[in-house]
Amino acid sequence: MGVTQPRLSDLLKGKIDKFSLDALVNMLGRAGMRVRLFVKKAA
């Protein structure tokens, strides 16, 4: 995943606020996941 064990532990505990969006997307890519992002105009 390209992160240290303590960082991976934080992720597995759901502490995603400790990660940037870029870091999360990169980790998903390394895990073989494809990421798609959709942005919509606010209502």
pLDDT at 10: 95
Sign of CA dihedral 34, 35, 40, 43: positive
pTM reported for the whole predicted model: 0.73
pLDDT in tens, the chain (43 residues): 788 999 999 999 999 999 999 999 999 999 999 999 899 999 8
pLDDT at 11: 92
Domain count along the chain: 1
Domain that holds residue 29: 1-43
DSSP 13-24: TT-GGGS-HHHH
Q: Would you say 3 and 11 are in contact if contact means Cβ atoms under 8 Å apart?
A: yes
